[in-house]
Structure 1
């Protein structure tokens, strides 16, 4: 998979993560796909970005965070009518998929994030975005 064939505007990715090392790892992966990256340190910050009118193509949202946990943030973002954005729930706990899915996430990925797992998801979002621009 090469990024040199990416056309159109970059994928806008929101990382909702309170652990700087995890946010850095995911940011590093997303930069390989030339994503435009925003980081929120908790769910409340993520919701505020949407309330300010910011738009994203994909969100990677952790579960356990101060102020507002990931599933609650996902519910609030979906309640704002953000049905087009792909939401990926991420956590070190393998048994947390249901809490993300019932909140409105599209997919769940266990940590640590890996390029070969994240790559196809970003490629899918890029393809969808480029096809909708035609």
Structure 2
């Protein structure tokens, strides 16, 4: 049995965070929550490792794209980072910050499922 996928949800809106974590929980992932970009960056600074990060765009203290930029600058190139926003202009901002993919909110379950599955497959293939 492979270790569970480690998911970081960076979201300042309680409802959005709960909805997303409820969907993620269906895949038996290990979930960590951060309320803003700075909290997510601090987790990486502490040495925490995640397989996938779902990051909201507009948050207090530090925005999603800024956090993505900082996480990538730390050399975290293996973690899959998913930018989330209800704003259509957010895709460009996230992609230039270093996100792997952008998903408009609200995220559809099948889209989430495909991403988690991709991470699980990648983990299983790198397990020796």
Superposed CA RMSD in Å reads 0.7
1:93 is aligned to 2:87: yes
Moved >4 Å (runs of 4+): none
Aligned residues: 128
Is 1:25–1:113's contact at 8 Å kept on the other side of the alignment?
A: no
1:102 is aligned to 2:104: no
- Residue 14 (structure 1) aligned to one of 8, 29, 52: 8
Q: Tell me the CA shift for residue 94 of structure 1.
A: 1.9
Deviations 1:20-45 (A, max 9, x none): 10011110111111010000000000
Residue aligning to 1:55: 49
Residue aligning to 2:110: 116
Residue aligning to 1:45: 39
In 2: Cα distance, 1:26 partner to 1:109 partner:
12
Q: Tell me the CA shift for residue 114 of structure 1.
A: 1.6
| Structure 2 portions without partners, runs of 5+ | none
1:72 is aligned to 2:66: yes
TM norm structure 2? 0.98
In 2: Cα distance, 1:122 partner to 1:75 partner:
22
User: 2:22 aligns to what SS in structure 1?
Assistant: helix
| Structure 1 portions without partners, runs of 5+ | 1-6
